[in-house]
Amino acid sequence: MSSFNSTHSYLKKRGISGPWKIEPLISRTFNQAIVIPAYAELEFLPLTIESINQNKPELLNQTLVVVVVNNANNSPQSIKDNNQLTIQKINENNYQFTLAVIDAAFSGLELPLKHAGVGLARKIGMDLALPHLTSPQSLIFCTDADTQVSPDYLSKVKQIFKSQNTSAAVIGFSHLKSQDSAINDAIGQYEKFLKTTAEKMQRAGSPYGYVSMGSTIVCTAEAYCAVGGMPRKKATEDFYFLQELTKYCGVHNISETLVFPSPRPISRVYLGTGFRMEQIQNGFDIAKLFYSEGAFWYLSQWLQLGSHAWEVNLKDLFKNTNTIHPNLVEFLKLESIEDIWSKIQNNAPSKSHFTEQFHRWFDGLKTIRFLKRFSSP
């Protein structure tokens, strides 16, 4: 097993602690790992695994696929039964990669109620994969148990990481087609919302202009450790994880479509694709999700002004923001700009450092709040 310092330090300070382990015991290391949380995925997981298995054999030979089959101890018995059948099913076959199963579903191994969910399941898989990676630059791929990938998934992503010298990325995606035309129409609308929002944020000058989707994330082991690993959140763990990666090293957008998530309307958390699909089927107007063109214009003006205000005091900054929108000063005060502005300036030895610090403060969450606020009439 590998023992590079960043992994050892991270696992000691912030690594997962619990009864979970990789099975079977693995004594070698790998160039990359793919981590898949699975919650009652007997129907879909075999398709996900088979799509991975269609990648190039020479890359699969250096790939560890970690499946975290999970539930809480209060999960319905049908979920628990499905999970045990899932473990049996995926262990019946041989693959060109090394398959490791983490049982977080059997009695005594279930996820604790406080944190039970996809965030903790991802963290368990990613943390336990770390000691089996070859180097700090080894890649950790996140995907989902109902998501399929392209035969070029591994080769294209590894090529882009090498050519772009990047440490974190999100991969282009397109939802799988359903036999139900209403579901296809709904997922098309939702996907348009996700992608156009990301594109417009990017054009406005935000480094957070990407779609936060857990099945499309990939980063180096070093970057994973540096940002403190995957949050244990029951939902939006992908958003917050990517936000920390952006602050640390930036997140590259891989435009090529290599990931194909499911469009199924299944609501396990209060946000996400399944949640929105269920909402749409129940009559929700997805047009209400879209932010106004005006909000993106205000955002672009604010980011241009704020990120270049290294030597501008707060009084003058407020005067300038009033020319963008009369309510912008009030918004910024609610975001605690009065507490942070001088600290950002004092901790920045140059304009470029100030710009970095500015975007660390005015992050993805603040950007979404901005868009919601200034899309309102």
- Residue 306 has a CB neighbour count (10 Å cut-off) of 25
Give the orientation angle of helix 364-375 with respect to helix 237-248, to 10 degrees.
120
pLDDT attached to residue 228: 97
Strands 98-104 and 22-23: antiparallel
Per the CB < 8 A criterion, the answer to whether 275 and 267 are in contact is yes
The DSSP secondary structure of 295-313, one letter per residue, reads HHHHHHHHHHHHTT-TT--
Residue 152 to residues 52, 54, 149, 155, 164, Cα–Cα distance (Å): 9, 9, 8, 5, 18
Rounded to an integer, what distance in angstroms lies between the CA atom of residue 375 and that of residue 262? 30
**How far apart are alpha carbons 174 and 176 in whole angstroms?**
7
- Per the CB < 8 A criterion, the answer to whether 129 and 139 are in contact is no
| pLDDT reported for residue 285 | 77
> How far apart, in whole angstroms, are the C-alpha atoms of residue 245 and residue 230?
10
> pLDDT value at position 183?
83
Residues 154 and 101 sit within 8 Å (Cβ to Cβ): no
Which three-class secondary structure state does DSSP give residue 364?
A: helix
Q: How far apart are CA 31 and CA 7, in angstroms?
A: 15
Q: Are 233 and 329 in contact (CB under 8 A)?
A: no
Whole-structure pTM value: 0.94
Ranges of residues in the chain whose predicted pLDDT is under 70: 1-3, 265-274, 377
pLDDT tens figures, 55-102: 999 999 999 999 999 999 999 999 999 999 999 999 999 999 999 999
Q: Domains in the chain, ordered, with CATH? A: 5-287 (3.90.550.10), 293-375 (no CATH)
Contact indicator for 138, 220 with CB cutoff of 8 Å: yes
The sign one gets for the Cα dihedral 318, 321, 325, 328 is negative
Residue 270: predicted pLDDT: 53
CA distance 282 to 151: 36
